[in-house]
A and B are shown apart, each in its own frame.
Chain A
Amino acid sequence: MASDTSQATVQVSTSAVAQGDGAHDSHGPTGILRWVVTTNHKEIGSLYLLFSLAMLFVGGSMALVIRTELFQPGLQFIQPEFFNQMTTMHGLIMVFGAIMPAFVGLANWMIPMQIGAPDMALPRLNNFSFWLLPVAFGILLSTLFMEGGGPNFGWTFYAPLSTTYAPPSTSFFIMSIHLAGISSILGAINIIATIFNLRTPGMRLMDMSLFVWTWLITAFLLIAVMPVLAGVVTMMLMDINFGTSFFNAAGGGDPVLFQHLFWFFGHPEVYIMILPAFGIVSLIVPTFARKRLFGYASMVYATAAIALLSFLVWAHHMFTVGIPLVGELFFMYSTMLIAVPTGVKIFNWIATLFRGSISFEVPMLFALGFIVMFTIGGLSGVMLAIVPADFQYHDTYFVVAHFHYVLVPGALFAIMAAAYYWMPKWTGYYASETLGKWHFWLSVIGVNLTFFPMHFSGLAGMPRRIPDYALQFADFNMLSSIGGFLFGFSQLIFVWVLIKAIRGSGEKAHAHAWEGADGLEWTVPSPAPLHTFDTPPPFDPLTESPSRH
């Protein structure tokens, strides 16, 4: 412990010097323009995170429009055409605008600091990757005001709904998907280049934090599947505008081909949204259990196994399109196989907790909430993997319940956990414990009230994506709507917490903000100065590696 403290002091002085150096050559613009042209990984990270927070509220408002309409059976507030646009835009914005950019923002902030690098490997590219996003989502949101409305074919944009029967704005939708895709690809290249080349001397791959590991694997997934997404939307564009028939049965094409291509992208995409969350939880659980992570190496291998298996399961989204029996069996078993490495992870987290001296600060609450509720989503996923059962569940609210459990109390809770965990490092102040606990508990109640009843309405046969429903689903839907509003408005508490921390009201954080925390980011002062690790920090695998024994 003594050596830790002295090292932290050394680090503080070097980064103070570094900051002084930085001040000399930073004659950059000030004010708003400074944020537009910044190449600093921390500032770009903040931009990503604030952008995704804004998108969370935009996408969340659309979810509340949906829940308002579904509060009671019948059509009360909006027309089916607009309802379809809301379900589509809600999905697109949450997936591509909220969850993915939030993880990229966390990567920007934390990966250089966790591997002892001064910045990302390609800082100017980093700026470009970010600024593509507001353009992409500006275009996407503008389609709502165009003639014929915005995309209304579901976030999975199945052809021919998204080609032959699509609104005229679809070409703009395709453009925005292209831009968001390019942004993701460039971000992934940057992350891979940073991790492979800028680690502090002495840090081997198996010495990296699990957040860095999971992001490295995620970046490879992005490189592999984003071109497939780009290809799919390009084919749509050609079917719509240039008379080709990739997905048009009348011209000899095949709509089912669209689904194969989309889900070849889509299933790895699901892991793009969850692997970094695994990394975050793997940092927070050991910190607040005051133990080292159980099974570091098995965590890395399990992550890699999940990523590889994700390429072999796509047709589990298409069990009902009429694939032959052997195909159904193959995709059923390969899907169930993923439960094995995922189970390894959950086992490791529980083993880390076992006999730990656990305390329940807000980041830990969100991480524990993640473990419990992500597992619920995982179990309904195994149910959906069973082919004969899936024929019953397909396109019902059971599916909606499943993927919201893995994405909201899964991915989103992990992002929240990360925000509470690193807020002292970002702002220099701890997030308010009292407000944070209100945020957590109201979110837990809200999220379960929203999505748990959907399991039942789905099993009872309520189809998804329809603005009206049969009377017997009324009670479940009313509960879901009440929960949705509770969850949605609880997120405003987070905004309050964030503003308080940025303004500097609350408990001041020191460099090593959490006593049980491991990692180089805790050796620099809080708040982290603009420039850190201009000279690579010393790193001793024997005492500092998360894989040490």
Chain B
Amino acid sequence: MSTTHARAGVRRTVIRTLCVLVGMVGFTLALIPLYDVFCEITGLNGKTANSAQVVSAGEVDESREVRVQLVTRTGTGLSWQLQALDPVITVHPGEISQAMFRFSNRGDITSSGKAVPSITPSAGAEHFRKMECFCFQQQSLMAGETLELPLVFQIAPDLPEHIETLTLAYSLYPGDEDETVALGGAYD
């Protein structure tokens, strides 16, 4: 075995291995947008659309009832409370319904917050259609202010048969800081 021969072989193997490595780095980077696209199509991560949707056509299925549970929680860093006025509502698939939510700022400064929705089971996410939702943009509340905002939604008639209960969870997070500062400045 000549050493130059082996050396050329080593170089070839190293280059090929590095190509695989670069390929895997690219694959990892591609996974992020792929995951988002995949979830958007399938709704598998329980995310719903983040802009108003049109009413889905189809008959209201009076024979079927779906329980919609409304759950809320507040993330750290925001002194707000979010409450669903009716925690459980029963709807028929295809029917357009409304649920009211109460936002209250328990802090002593004006702040802004954003409610991020999530649907469980995730298979129901793409069938949960929102015509109007406070979750499309962030809210700003003055100290002690309370605000009631509606969610107008429809459960598409093609909701899979095995889903009898849908849980819609809203998590409140602090809004975009720049905006908060700007608003706060305006009121000072």
Contacts and interface: CB of A to CB of B under 8 A. Distances in A.
Interface of A is mostly: helix
A241 interface: no
A188 B13 CA distance: 12
A323 B13 contact: no
B57 interface: no
Interface string B45-71: 111001000000000000000000000
Interface in B19-53: 20-21, 24-25, 27-29, 31-32, 35, 39, 44-47, 50
Given A198-B10, A223-B24, A227-B25, 12 more contacts: A193-B10, A193-B17, A200-B1, A224-B24, A230-B28, A231-B25, A249-B116, A254-B39, A254-B45, A257-B35, A264-B31, A536-B1
Contacts of B121: 322, 324
B6 A197 contact: yes
A196 B9 contact: yes
Nearest to B25: A227
Nearest to A326: B123
A228 interface: yes
| A189, A200, A225, A235 interface centre (most CB from chain B within 10 Å) | A189
A260 interface: yes
A201 interface: yes
Contacts of A250: 75, 114, 116, 171, 173-174
A-B pairs with the 5 shortest C-beta distances? Answer: A250-B173, A231-B28, A197-B9, A227-B24, A193-B13
A201 B1 contact: yes
B25 A197 contact: no
A58 interface: no
B120 interface: yes
B21 A256 contact: no
Interface in B68-94: 75-76
A323 B28 contact: no
B115 to A, nearest CB: 10
Contacts of A201: 1
Contacts of B171: 249-250
Contacts of B120: 322
A8 interface: no
Interface in A375-407: none
Contacts of A189: 14, 17-18, 21
B122 interface: yes
Nearest to A249: B116
A509 interface: no
B152 to A, nearest CB: 22
A214 to B, nearest CB: 18
Nearest to B46: A322
B9 A224 contact: no
A201 B9 CA distance: 14
A322 B120 CA distance: 7
A317 B173 CA distance: 28
| A164, A256, A322 interface centre (most CB from chain B within 10 Å) | A322
Nearest to A192: B17
Nearest to A201: B1
A230 B29 CA distance: 11
A459 interface: no
